[in-house]
Amino acid sequence: MAIDLLLGLQWGDEGKGKIVDVLTKKYDIIARFQGGPNAGHTLEFDGIKHVLHTIPSGIFHPTATNLVGNGVVIDPVIFKQELDNLAPFDIDINTSLLVSRKAHLILPTHRLLDAASELAKGKAKIGSTLKGIGPTYMDKTGRNGIRVGDIELASWKTRYQALRDKHLAMVANMNVNLEYDMDSLDKAFFEAIDFLKTNISFVDSEQFLSVAQKEGKHILAEGAQGSLLDIDFGTYPFVTSSNTTAAGACTGLGVAPNKIGEVYGIFKAYTTRVGSGPFPTELFDEIGETMGRVGHEFGATTGRSRRCGWLDLVALKYAVEVNGVTQLMMMKGDVLSGFDTLNVCVSYDYRGQNIQHLPYSLNAEEVEPQYTSLPGWEEDLTKMRSEDELPKTFMDYVAFIEAYVETPIKIVSVGPDRNQTIFRSS
Ligand code: IMP
């Protein structure tokens, strides 16, 4: 059985958590393949809002198995906190949640290094979530990391101590003003490790998935962040430290490329970005401010306000192509109700040429977005539940996007709740 993928196509925060939750009924296994607690996947149902950082978004479905794959980086302290938040919901985490032994651990000193590195960069900072993501992936590729499977070995505390001390020396060398209490950081870390060892099943996840595929299980790989934050294909260096695109699912789960089935690409009807880095269609006016206010555009992990702007079809098409997207899902169309006109970026003026592809640099001095204006809609979409209720101007907006990116939009979401989801038949 092929494995389907679900990915964000912009700079993250597209609404992946909601769609995974909606689709989970069709799947036996939901598997996260990259990123870590920098993600904030929001799910809303029965009047309750849940934010997940490391745990896959299928966790609220009683029959789904949720797998944290080898490509994910895990902060045991945050992971334990997430599990504590699930306690009132009667979820048997012992059976419904599995963690790959090959996933790398975020140490408290990785977080310190992240903070020190951002302080040292000053104005050039990445705008990291400060969860230790970059330093942990650096230790992984530098072959110094500590993996989940290591904590089952007797010698691991010695290795922890050595890596921690090395990190502390690096922080000291960076000459930044960072206050921390290492004893309490160590204490919280080891308490969380003990909790995980007792409560969570560790697995050889590539083997687990291989058997599950042979048994005909339906598997969905859940991406985090977005394609424009990919370490290779994003707006480097203002990116995260993992491959957020489709190929990341292969390396982050141990799945062969020829085993990938559908690739669901999620995007917002406009664009947002949190943290630093180029954003050609960013709005600095009342329209951008309205999008942020109506769309509640605040980071689920950091609470930072998100930058907002028009939909960038050049960037969207790039993401569709890099990922091999087969179906699109458009989120937050409801937020655009009330604008007379909607602009969509259809090309860039770049170094004296008009282009329709993503160039090497998206820096504001080099890229001037070119727009087509489409009529807006007045209607409140949030109570609509079927395609035939949606206004014509909205459907024209959808059709324009589909034609540009040459991929069908199969779901439109008109609000945060599970039931505010319209499946399109055509
Ligand atoms: P890091 O992954 O915490 O190192 O952050 C690197 C960049 O990616 C920063 O601009 C963050 O704001 C951004 N980023 C990381 N995770 C997310 C996410 O889940 N949603 C949106 N932006 C993110």
Based on the residue annotation, tell me whether 41 is a catalytic residue of this protein: yes
> What pLDDT, on a 0 to 100 scale, did the predictor assign at position 219?
97
Share of the chain above pLDDT 70, in %: 100
Based on the residue annotation, tell me whether 13 is a catalytic residue of this protein: yes
**Which class for 25: exposed (0-12), middle (13-18), buried (19 or more C-beta within 10 A)?**
exposed
For residue 366, is pLDDT > 80? yes
Mean pLDDT of the chain: 96
How far apart are the CA of 128 and the centre of ligand 1, in A?
A: 6
> What pLDDT, on a 0 to 100 scale, did the predictor assign at position 235?
97
Q: What is the largest CA-CA distance in the chain?
A: 65
How far apart are the CA of 38 and the centre of ligand 1, in A?
A: 6
Q: What is the CA radius of gyration of the chain?
A: 21
Q: What is the pLDDT of residues 275-287, one digit of tens each?
A: 999 999 999 999 9
Helix (H, G, I), strand (E, B) or coil at 141: helix
Confidence band for 13, pLDDT divided at 50, 70 and 90 = very high
Q: What is the pLDDT of residues 286-298, one digit of tens each?
A: 999 999 999 999 9
For residue 237, is pLDDT > 80? yes
Which atom in ligand 1 lies closest to the alpha carbon of residue 131? 3
Confidence band for 35, pLDDT divided at 50, 70 and 90 = very high
Asked whether 103 and 148 are in contact (CB, 8 A), the reply is yes
Residues 26-47 as b/e (b if ≥16 CB within 10 A, e otherwise) read ebbbbbbbbbbbbbbbbbbeee
How far apart are the CA of 304 and the centre of ligand 1, in A?
A: 11
For residue 426, is pLDDT > 70? no
Which atom in ligand 1 lies closest to the alpha carbon of residue 39? 19
Nearest CA residue ID for atom 12, ligand 1: 275
38 Cβ inside 6 Å of ligand 1? yes
> What pLDDT, on a 0 to 100 scale, did the predictor assign at position 303?
87
Residue 290 vs residues 101, 296, 331, 335, 379: alpha-carbon distances, Å: 45, 10, 17, 9, 16
Nearest CA residue ID for atom 2, ligand 1: 240
How far apart are the CA of 129 and the centre of ligand 1, in A?
A: 6
Asked whether 41 and 224 are in contact (CB, 8 A), the reply is yes
Measured between alpha carbons, how far is 129 from 226 in angstroms, rounded to an integer? Answer: 14
106 Cβ inside 6 Å of ligand 1? no
> What pLDDT, on a 0 to 100 scale, did the predictor assign at position 425?
83
For residue 201, is pLDDT > 80? yes
Measured between alpha carbons, how far is 19 from 42 in angstroms, rounded to an integer? Answer: 10
How far apart are the CA of 157 and the centre of ligand 1, in A?
A: 30
For residue 156, is pLDDT > 90? yes
Q: What is the pLDDT of residues 295-324, one digit of tens each?
A: 999 988 888 899 999 999 999 999 999 999
Nearest CA residue ID for atom 21, ligand 1: 12
pTM of the predicted model as reported, rounded to 2 decimal places: 0.96
Which of 17-21, 182-186, 244-248, 284-288 is predicted least confidently?
17-21
Helix (H, G, I), strand (E, B) or coil at 148: helix
Report the Cα 90 to chain-centroid distance in Å.
26
Mark residue 241 as left, alpha or beta (left: phi above 0; alpha: psi -120 to 50; beta: remaining).
alpha
Q: Could you say which of 21, 28, 41, 139 is catalytic?
A: 41
For residue 155, is pLDDT > 80? yes
Helix (H) or strand (E) holding 293: helix 286-294
